[in-house]
Chain A
């Protein structure tokens, strides 16, 4: 029992998380030119292949051409990928191979602050990468509502959620190859089944509910699509509320699991 409560103990953190965040930002700024091009090209490829190519064989969905339907989903997918991978592979490299966290906790910064800084950075990556994709689909004329600007704060929330989830895996991964498991068994099914490439509504109702509970991407896609297309329904409040509820749970769990792993 006490072990469980330990895993959910709310950590004390200070402004020092910003220093961890800044370290990652400084590294990012050194290489952003090489990072930028793939982030730009990938969504364009998807839009061409799926939107124009596949879309030619697909009927309009809810009155939207297929390419307009998937475009916002691609923005949500980039939120998931950028933050989840930042806080799994990239964090693991810093923690395990570079011993960066060992270096930082020898200074007045605590492990809780290191992990929080990492998660905030993962959320920032979500904001950056999804903004690029968003820029592409706006430029392509695939966004029909000025509400799309609200996608930016949503991307930070979604990024926090996936960063925290990724960090939980990182805390329990024996080695870097172990990330193939959450990748293949969780992230890939989530990518395919979250209402990304076909509407959630085409699945049985039970499955729709299960999907929205266990696949945060489904919530992210629904909200992002609603904001991009200006098609707001009350139900998106539930999507946002659900993300707001589970994010802090994973956040606290991630910090305590990491602390358990690193403080010996």
Chain B
């Protein structure tokens, strides 16, 4: 199956004075997919997003969106991109509806069309009750939804979501995830950054893992997990005997100590770890599905939250 490449980056680089924030990265994003940038704070995710939306000049490399060069066609690119930035920059002087209307005007959208679209998005984001309320009284989750609605006002071909749920409570997060999935079903191309591995696993078809401005791994979330850490992890409370015992049972496995836990990445098919537990009982033993965080830990040797 051949797919349309919508975003293409080659040797994309960004330096701030001496600091290399994005270090010669390559990636391709296809039309209609959800593409994630996973990485800890300071990895270079936001910097990459700003170059993609053509508001931050490249230090090196090339970057095209829908065949247009970000350096030359900024205005046209910004017209087809919708952005929900990491930093809340809603207009505090306006109501929910006015925020959307004023934003639409920046895109040359006619008043009538903007009104229809704004009403539709207010409904979609479940903000009807706050429609005419000055936004300073909105909760964090509502503001995020409004930012998302605003990003959709110009009916973008590419939607950029920079840490869409950072700082939200679980309920608010799940509501945002539902909305994003809805948009994915409608065929919107979504570019998402996050430092939450569950968010990346839930929402991304493909992703890259970034650290210190570099791509350290790329692929489908499930493939990455399977390839690097197997499907399951055995966790056991740390003790010398347990360690010794586990090393005998799993001579080939990667065994890490994280906090007061031993983690065994046996990279075996599902069920194999459980059989061991039938034979030996370990204190605090637990078998769980492996996840992207484990992948990151393996690759970068430190936690995503660092």
Measured CB to CB, the residues of A under 8 A from B are 16, 19, 22-23, 26-27, 30, 98-100, 102-110, 263-264
Contact = CB atoms under 8 A, between A and B. Distances in A.
Contacts of A30: 93
Contact of A107 (B85, B91, B103): B103
Given A22-B105, A103-B91, A108 B55 contact: no
B249 interface: no
B71 interface: no
B101 to A, nearest CB: 9
Nearest to A102: B89
Given A98-B92, A100-B91, A23 B102 contact: yes
User: Which of B53, B79, B103: most chain A Cβ within 10 A?
Assistant: B103
Interface residues of B, number: 29
Contacts of A106: 53, 55, 78, 81, 83, 85
Given A19-B106, A27-B94, A106-B78, A263 B56 contact: yes
Query: Main SS of chain B's interface residues?
Result: loop
Contacts, number: 61
Contact of A98 (B55, B57, B91): B91
B16 A264 contact: yes
Contacts of A100: 89, 91
B89 A98 contact: yes
B89 A110 contact: no
B126 interface: no
B98 interface: yes
A19 B85 contact: no
Contact of B106 (A27, A108, A263): A108
Nearest to A22: B105
27 contacts: A19-B106, A23-B105, A26-B94, A26-B98, A26-B102, A30-B93, A98-B89, A98-B91, A99-B87, A99-B88, A100-B91, A103-B89, A103-B90, A103-B91, A106-B55, A106-B83, A107-B103, A107-B107, A108-B75, A108-B78, A108-B79, A108-B106, A108-B108, A110-B74, A110-B75, A263-B55, A263-B56
B149 to A, nearest CB: 13
Contacts of A107: 78-79, 103, 106-107, 154
